Amino acid sequence: MAKVVFLNGLPSKIVNEIISYAPDHLDIRAIGSESSEIQRINAVSDADFLLCYRLEPSDDVLRSAKKCRLVQLLAAGYDKTNLKLIRDLGIDCCNNGGANSWAVSDHAVLLMLSLYKKLLSASSDTINGRWDASIDGQNTFEMAGKVVGILGMGNIGKQVAKRVQGFGSVVQYYDVNMLDDETNKSLNVCPVSIESLFETSDIISCHTSLNENTYHIVNKDKFALMKRSSILINTSRGSVVDETALIEAISGGLIAGAGIDVFENEPVDADNPLLGFSNVVSTPHMAGTTWDTWRRRAEFGFENMDLVLQGKSPISIVN
């Protein structure tokens, strides 16, 4: 029986839900965030697999996992994981293979619609007896006919493309690895340069991973290219966007608004200026967190472990 150490910072109900999808030949030991470094080191010393979510293994923990054959992340992001060390140790590291792509893409569209329909202001007015005080017939918009520019056409970007086309939007995208012509045609999307993406899109939606090449890829220069009527959505990683430049773009009227699920520092500081703008909708890095995703995350991770046990390569290697 192969041993799996599940390093996590999750409530017990979710931990138990994830473990419930494990096949019988995997022995799962859950190690929570309340554990000490020594406990984690001891736990992984004979582990065949590490399963991680909201509790990143330290370098010492990774070096202690001498039998480990795979580090499987249940999240899509891996910017806090020491991929180089894992690679140097001869271990594959995989993310969740798009298991949360539906949830994140739903949330991205939610932020778009919330901004276009002034949802938060309208709700507050209704509750506080001001009825339609925020709505003047000039400041709400439809998705139909708008150009949605997707930065990063991976699993989540593709799901966003499908969803916004249901509202009648036109989709263009930029990705360092452009899709082939057949895939572009099947998704009804158009590849463009990154400059054109920011110049011509009504909505920019960020869905790229965070690495040395994408750090602050949305910066002062990109905001200068955007239409004053355009909005920015970020459900990827906070540092994909230069937050200082975003604050300046919002306060200076360079763009019409933003929907932000991720921040450069999390939890976000209470005095962050972004929280004070009426044309910014903020959420607490919740886009990928739904009850429905846990089954998909778990099944993907355990299936990857089975591939390794069968002598095959796992799917969605990130290192």
- Catalytic machinery residues: 237, 266, 285
The length of the chain in residues reads: 319
**Cα 239 vs. chain centroid, distance in angstroms?**
12
Strand-pairing partners, residue 36, are none
Contact 171, 145 (CB under 8 A): no
Tokens coding 158: 């593709």
Q: Which of 95, 82, 66 is nearest to 5 (CA)?
A: 66
CA atoms within 13 A on the CB side of 110: 16
Q: What is residue 112's three-state secondary structure?
A: helix
Tokens coding 209: 């991973």
Tokens coding 280: 């910014």
Residue 85's CB: how many other CB atoms inside 10 A? 16
Residue 160 CB contacts under 8 Å (≥ 6 apart), including other chains: 105, 108, 109, 148, 150, 205, 207
Tokens coding 187: 């998704």
- Identify residue 309 by its one-letter amino acid code: L
Tokens coding 79: 């910017």
Contact 56, 80 (CB under 8 A): yes
Contact 209, 79 (CB under 8 A): yes
